[in-house]
Chain A
Amino acid sequence: MAAGGSQPILEIRHVSKRYRAAKPLFRDVTFEVQSGEFVYVTGPSGSGKSTLLRMVYRDETADTGSIQFCGKDVLALSSSAIPFLRRNVGVILQDFKLIHEESVYDNIALALEILGLPQREIYDRVRQALDRVGLAGYEDVRAADLSGGEQQRVAVARAVVARPSLVLADEPTGNLDAGNAAMVVDLLEEVNAEGTTVLLATHDNMLIAARPHRTVALVDGVVDEITRGRAVEGVRYRGASQEALQP
């Protein structure tokens, strides 16, 4: 685990969101993520973990509050500025979000094409990213022909190839078996060890326990507890026993 930096890269302040008037998804969510930190956002299904992550890359808006990323309030960004925010944020989703009919190379290169890099540099960086996720030689394979674990590793490569300062991973292990899940988290920890901040949303307590990092829990619409290290005991899900949270 990388040592947390002293500067907050992400400051979430008093963020509230409601889809139905009677029942807010979450309210007054406030926490910080330091530069170079690895942080879990956890909570039961429907607690708003994914929504919170989507707010960070402005795929979703908040009703109130602010989300400062590198000192800029992403919730106040104009629509023309959002693409530039997203170029600094790598996103990994549970369903991998790959373009199935395209090759592994093209899927990863896409993030660099957007930046307008020269083809030579794109080629080198995609090769490096594939080496890093253990898929060297898979350049020409169609994304649809990969296994779930391989697809998620391609998604990780795509998220980090543009060297973003923050990686958001929304249930990246949700569709994977234990072996592949461990491999994906290994990759994210490696990325984090090199200085990239990682915010990982998961409801997998086994994962949180096995790979201890600071954990922000969203329970009943509020930040219930912020724990560090292996101490997930403080996270109290409604109706869940303490035992269920143990690895």
Chain B
Amino acid sequence: MMHLGYYLRRTLQGFRNEWTTNLATVLTLSVAFVLVGALATVAVSLGSQVERWGGADQYQVTVYLKPDAPPAAADQLRRALDGMGEVRAVRFVPGTEARQRLMEAFPEESAAWNALDASFFPGYVEIGLDPAIADEDHYRMLVGRIGKLDIVQEVETHGDWYASVLGIHRAARVLAIALGSLAIFATVFVVAHTIRLNFYRRRRQVEVLRMCGATPWFVRMPYLLEGLLGALFAALLALGAITLFVEAVRERLVDVAPVLGASPIEHLPPLAWLVFLATAALIGVSGSWMSVNKALRS
């Protein structure tokens, strides 16, 4: 691009000359992005918990068989459950896989898991129920019936805890989308007002540029870059803050990790970072575009 050097110089000059306004804007955007990002982090983390417990589209029940149950018992149970409409999936998890899962969930305890006898890891049957068919009462009744079978030692359900997490997860997702939309709308206007202010402060420069034969694009580009880089910087600040926050929370959640799994709160995945940065870029460019176009027309 022929004028890129000039655009970048002008953009940096703009940041330098109007640093107080630009800093205020970047911090305002960062706060908005942190709120949305934190909510997204909560949604992602809860989503992982939900997935770990069977996924949002099914209730999960774990059935431990009695040690003296005949080897064909698991298969017998699977066949009995397979025919039921509310049962979406039945799967036997052998003891070796159970040990492996624990090792993956708590890798720092690998040595301890390895040292344990195979009898500590009985095989179990995982049953996924369709929440569309199996409502709360139906679900409890079915779990009760399975528990009464002779070959069954224990039925583990995630019960109310699971339902709560699922509810919070759904709420967090909706809230993240709603707050995200609101934040996009608000931050576009914050950027637009900042750029408009900067544009009017530099109106003599714009007049001179136009008098000397600058095209509207030539005038516009440094302002678009100013909006773009400001919003990207704010997004990076927000992502940095969220990363630090997640690390800090993880340290404090060590005690509950055995209940919630090794990573009760998770970092945003790379795709979320990309979406976050792309949205920030779009906000920066849209806000600048609105202001500069309006100002150039006037």
Contact = CB atoms under 8 A, between A and B. Distances in A.
Interface of A: 57, 59, 80, 83-88, 91, 97-102, 107, 110-111, 113-116, 119, 158, 162
B208 A101 contact: no
Which A-B residue pairs are the 4 nearest by beta carbons? A87-B213, A86-B213, A116-B2, A111-B212
B115 to A, nearest CB: 70
A210 B208 CA distance: 31
Contacts of B212: 86-87, 91, 110-111, 114, 158, 162
B21 to A, nearest CB: 15
21 contacts: A80-B215, A83-B210, A84-B213, A86-B211, A86-B212, A91-B212, A97-B211, A98-B208, A99-B204, A101-B17, A102-B205, A107-B208, A110-B212, A111-B212, A113-B6, A114-B212, A114-B214, A114-B218, A115-B213, A119-B5, A158-B212
A57 B207 CA distance: 13
B208 A83 contact: no
B205 A99 contact: yes
Contacts of B204: 97, 99-100
A78 to B, nearest CB: 12
Contacts of A119: 5
B202 to A, nearest CB: 8
A87 B209 CA distance: 10
Interface string B204-238: 11011111111110100000000000000000000
B99 to A, nearest CB: 67
Q: Which of A84, A86, A88, A107 has the most CB of B within 10 A?
A: A86
A143 to B, nearest CB: 10
Q: Which of A59, A102, A114, A158 has the most CB of B within 10 A?
A: A114
Contacts of B6: 113
Contacts of B210: 83, 86
Nearest to A90: B212
Given A101-B17, A119-B5, A114 B213 contact: yes
B218 to A, nearest CB: 6
Contacts of B3: 113, 116
B17 A99 contact: no
A116 B208 CA distance: 16
Interface in B1-35: 2-3, 5-6, 17
A83 B207 contact: no
Contact of A83 (B5, B17, B205, B215): B215
A114 B209 contact: yes
Interface in B112-132: none
A116 B221 CA distance: 14
Nearest to B17: A101
Nearest to A113: B6
A2 to B, nearest CB: 24
Contacts of A80: 215
A115 B3 CA distance: 9
Given A88-B213, A116-B2, 13 more contacts: A83-B210, A83-B215, A87-B212, A97-B204, A100-B204, A102-B205, A110-B212, A111-B213, A113-B3, A113-B6, A114-B214, A114-B218, A158-B212
